């Protein structure tokens, strides 16, 4: 695991920080690696908006800070605004390690975070999802919009197809995903989703509890050490 880095002082000079920007090489979903013997990296799906309630960004910052304290690298969409900025700032402020993954055409639009030194620039949105899927040991979706839901559902679909066995969680801040939970229950009852696949989706309203559950689920999914 890469050691956490100290957070540089904020200020006018932050845009001049030497950021490592490199190009990602991605393959097809079938190339996703299985979990290894560590839980080093958590991919967090979130967007560039804060939402209508302060609790959403508060929980994002709380998650980032908790990940840093546990030595878990944050892998996220690379932006500095909204929920993306909140989770990254929470991790950076606590001295954690952060990797951003962002398509080149969104660097200006989403304002790539200037304090994230490990920034992976890809060509397309699909490459962004593939890069995060291949590097992560687990996934969590924060409250968000269409982009967040797209990322979450694609990773769930890949799990259903057996392309990976990594745990997936939804942070249910203030009941944000209650309607989603009810809808998935409806999908299962109507015969379009297996109960076993529905049961693998981890919902939790508490940041620490969700991270605990993801770590336990990741440990169960790992192959035996040789």
Q: What is the pLDDT of residues 68-99, one digit of tens each?
A: 999 999 999 999 999 999 999 999 999 999 99
pLDDT (0 to 100) of residue 109: 73
Which tokens belong to 166? 């990594």
Output the pLDDT for position 16: 31
Handedness of CA 2, 118, 203, 49 (dihedral sign): positive
pLDDT tens digits, one per residue of 176-204: 999 999 999 999 999 999 988 888 899 99
The dihedrals phi and psi of 220, each to the nearest 5 degrees, come to -70, -30
pTM across the whole model: 0.83
Cβ pair 166, 136 in contact under 8 A: yes
Per-residue model confidence as pLDDT tens digits over 96-133: 999 999 999 988 676 899 999 999 999 999 999 999 99
**For the residues 41-69, what does the mean pLDDT come to?**
97
The pLDDT of residue 177: 97
Q: Please, what is the Cα angle at 130 between 48 and 204, to 5 degrees? A: 55
Segment (H or E) for 3: none
pLDDT for res 221: 72
**Between these two residues, 6 and 63, which has the higher pLDDT value?**
63
The rounded distance, in Å, linking the Cα atoms of 78 and 148 is 13
Q: Which of 147, 113, 148, 153 is closest to 7 using CA atoms?
A: 113
Sorted by where each starts, the structural domains of the chain and their CATH numbers stand as: 35-220 (3.40.50.450)
pLDDT of 147 > 90? The answer is: yes
The strand ranges marked E within the chain are 20-23, 41-45, 73-76, 98-103, 118-122, 138-141, 168-171, 201-204
Distance CA 83, CA 152 (A): 15
Q: What is the pLDDT of residue 106?
A: 86
Q: pLDDT value at position 192?
A: 96
Percent of the chain at pLDDT exceeding 70: 80
Tokens at residue 99, please? 């990797």
The length of the chain, given as a count of residues? 226
């Amino acid at each position: 695991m890469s050691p956490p880095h100290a957070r540089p002082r904020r200020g006018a000079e932050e845009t001049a920080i030497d950021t490592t920007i490199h190009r990602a090489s991605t393959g097809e979903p079938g190339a996703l690696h299985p979990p290894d013997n560590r839980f080093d990296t958590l991919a967090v799906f979130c967007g560039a908006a804060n939402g209508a309630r302060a609790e959403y960004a508060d929980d994002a910052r709380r998650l980032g800070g908790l990940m840093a304290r546990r030595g878990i690298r944050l892998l996220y969409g690379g932006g500095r605004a909204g929920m993306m900025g909140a989770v990254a700032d929470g991790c950076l402020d606590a001295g954690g390690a952060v990797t951003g993954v962002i398509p080149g055409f969104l660097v200006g639009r989403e304002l790539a975070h200037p304090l994230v030194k490990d920034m992976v620039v890809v060509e397309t949105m699909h490459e962004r999802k593939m890069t995060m899927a291949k590097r992560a040991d687990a996934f969590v979706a924060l409250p968000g919009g269409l982009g967040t839901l797209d990322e979450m559902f694609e990773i769930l679909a890949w799990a259903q197809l057996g392309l990976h066995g990594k745990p997936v969680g939804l942070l249910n801040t203030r009941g944000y995903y209650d309607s989603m939970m009810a809808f998935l229950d409806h999908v299962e009852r109507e015969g379009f989703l297996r109960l076993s696949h529905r049961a693998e989706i981890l919902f939790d309203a508490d940041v620490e509890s969700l991270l605990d559950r993801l770590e336990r689920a990741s440990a169960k999914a790992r192959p035996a050490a040789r």
